Chains A and B, each alone.
Chain A
Amino acid sequence: MSGIAVTMMVWVCGLVWGGFAGLLIRAVRQEGKKAPGEH
């Protein structure tokens, strides 16, 4: 694979999958902070 293709792969996959993973971790933390009756 060419260097530019590898760079693009890392950039796009990092943004999309990394973004999703980061948001998921944030959601898990926020849920943990909320008291059971808070909803």
Chain B
Amino acid sequence: MSESARGGTAGPELFGSRWGLLLATLGMAVGTGNIWRFPRIVATNGGGSFLVAWVCFLLLWSIPLMIVELSFGKRSRRGTVGAFHRLAGEKKAWMGGWVALCATAIMFYYSVVAGWCLRYLWASLTGELAQRTSEDLWSSYAESGGAVMTHVLAMGSAFAVVWFGVRGIERVAKVLIPTLALLVVILAVRAVTLPGAERGLEFLFSPDWAALGQPKIWLEALTQNAWDTGAGWGLILSYAIYMRVREDVPLNAFLVGFGNNSISLLAGIMVLCTVFAIQPQAHEQIVGAGNEGLTFVWMPRLFTEMPGGGVFMMLFFLALSFAALTSLIAMLELATRVLMDFGAERRRALSWVGGIGLVFGLPSALSMEVFANQDWVWGLGLMLSGLLFALGARSFGLERLRKEVVNAPGADLTIGRWWTFVVGVLVPLEAVVLLVWWLWQATRGQELLQWLSPRSTFNVGTVVVQWGIALLALLACNRWLREHLVDRAPRSGERSNPEVDST
């Protein structure tokens, strides 16, 4: 066990190079949402016109928030709770607590998703999907002991990587992310060369300009950016802790944002060209089948009808598994780092996080209803996390953050005052509008008592109760959080970090 991996005295944990940081952060950002959600959402929201709104919100939500997260991590050298405490103010530790809690709650069920991907990868490798239908496999596997086993396997794999600290994360990212990008390119090229694939491209890129007048298109585009780039989740902050002292912030944020959306675009081309080439008459049914329906029922069926489809199905589930695992690794690291800031040694903190993750993921592995409820409640919670990052940055001083951290020596781009306006005004406004819109959507067609009932899977009541418990607990513990954060001043043998010391 290396000293640095234990958080010992040999030196601070840092990424070995800019490329290590970038690949790890891209691995965090590129997840299943890029591959299974983006093609569905773009297909059901006006194709080309949705893409216009999607590009706008990359610049008006994702990248500005990524800059905030990178700055918070680099400046504070602490996890989410410590970063908010140190930069936003002593009374704001609960905000970092919310961000950590939300990402950790997502980790519980995301491990189940990563397990599903591994199960289908195994089924495509062994030829099981050629012998039985994908519906048959899904109905016998989901909510069974098999889903629990693959949840354990996924959590165990991510655990093994985080065990070796930031160097372990960097090494794995350097292999998995270039491979993932190559796989997605191969799959997209195969899809566009299928006979009839041009109908998929036509569907994806044909704009419906009238649709741009509908608020729904813009809200869906904002939601997609919020969910698939990972901006405002606290995960980027957790990796930025390990940036080198004179590492750039703004160019790295732009690279991660554009890199993530590049993969989404490739995934959209891959999925829609495959759908339109193989089963054009069923495209509405396929894209309307939900994330799991599209990925685990329809995609295997389409691949089996494609020449050489067995190989491409294996590559598809390999890409999906890599995307899921690299995001799960970031979620484990976030929670581990928060515990380390309270004095726990890395491997002890990780053992707690992994153990709790295994137990709390079980309900989602065994019940699709619990899974859907948790995805609804904590997916929406990410909008609040984004809002808290914007408010936290305002508390520190947006201009101060821009001058002292974002545009500090080492920056490869200079960020102007536009960023101050976007983070200070637009991001909070977008977050509030999104929250209200999603909650309003959940009340439509329901009686008052129905939408307030906490027992429903998708309604306002379940969100209010679960968020309420979490927020009340965090506010009640705010003082405890403040008092128990360990000031990790450089110990003997560690390099001093002037940016940390000056805070």
Chain A residues engaging chain B, CB cutoff 8 angstroms: 1-2, 4-6, 8-9, 12-13, 15-17, 19-20, 23-24, 26-27, 30-31, 38-39
Q: Fill in one digit per residue for B3-32: 1 if any A CB lies within 8 Å of its CB, else 0.
A: 000000000000000100010000000000
Question: Judging by beta carbons under 8 Å apart, are B245 and A8 in contact?
Answer: no
A6 to chain B, nearest CB (A): 8
Q: How many Å lie between the Cα of A25 and that of B99 in the bound state? A: 33
Question: Looking at chain B, what size class is its interface with the partner chain?
Answer: 20 to 34
From the candidates A12, A20, A27, A39, name the one contacting B55 in the complex (CB within 8 A).
Answer: A12
Using known A-B contacts A1-B201, A20-B262, A39-B246, determine if residue A30 contacts B251 with beta carbons closer than 8 Å.
yes
- B372: chain A residues within 8 A (beta carbon): none
Partner of B207, one of A1, A4, A15, A38: A4
- Evaluate contact between B244 and A39: CB separation under 8 angstroms: yes
CB < 8 Å neighbour of A23 from B204, B246, B255:
B255
- Chain B residues with CB under 8 Å of chain A are 18, 22, 48, 51-52, 55, 198, 201-202, 204-207, 244-248, 251-252, 254-255, 258-259, 261-262, 265, 410, 412-413
- Is A20 in contact with B255, judged by CB distance below 8 angstroms? yes
Q: Are B251 and A8 neighbours in the complex by a CB distance under 8 Å?
A: no
Known contacts A23-B251, A30-B251: does B51 contact A38 (CB below 8 Å)? Answer: no
Task: Collect the chain A residues with CB atoms within 8 Å of residue B244's CB.
Answer: 39
Please tell me if the beta carbons of A20 and B258 are within 8 angstroms of each other in the complex: yes
> Shortest CB–CB separation between residue B12 and chain A, in angstroms?
13
Closest residue of B by beta carbon distance from A7: B205
Q: Residue on A with the closest CB to B265?
A: A16
Chain A nearest CB from B267 CB (Å) reads: 12
Indicate which residue in A13, A24, A38 contacts B265 across the interface (CB closer than 8 Å): A13
In the complex, chain A residues whose CB is within 8 Å of the CB of B413: 26
Cα of A4 to Cα of B52 in the assembled complex, Å? 14
Q: Please tell me if the beta carbons of A1 and B258 are within 8 angstroms of each other in the complex.
A: no
Q: Smallest Cβ distance from A20 to chain B, in angstroms?
A: 4
A-B contact pairs, 11 of them (CB 8 A): A1-B201, A12-B51, A12-B205, A13-B265, A16-B55, A16-B258, A16-B262, A16-B265, A20-B262, A27-B412, A38-B246
Q: Are B202's CB and A1's CB within 8 A?
A: yes
Q: Which residue of B lies closest to A33 (CB)?
A: B412
Interface hub of A4, A23, A26 (most chain B Cβ within 10 A): A23
A30–chain B nearest beta-carbon distance, Å: 4
Chain B residues whose CB sits within 8 angstroms of the CB of A17 once the complex forms: 262, 265
Quick check: B245 and A39 within 8 Å, CB to CB? yes
Measured between C-beta atoms, what is the minimum distance from A33 to chain B in Å? 9
Bound CA–CA A12/B15 (angstroms): 33
Check A5–B48 contact: CB distance below 8 A.
yes
Cβ 8 A contact of B201, one of A5, A16, A26, A39: A5
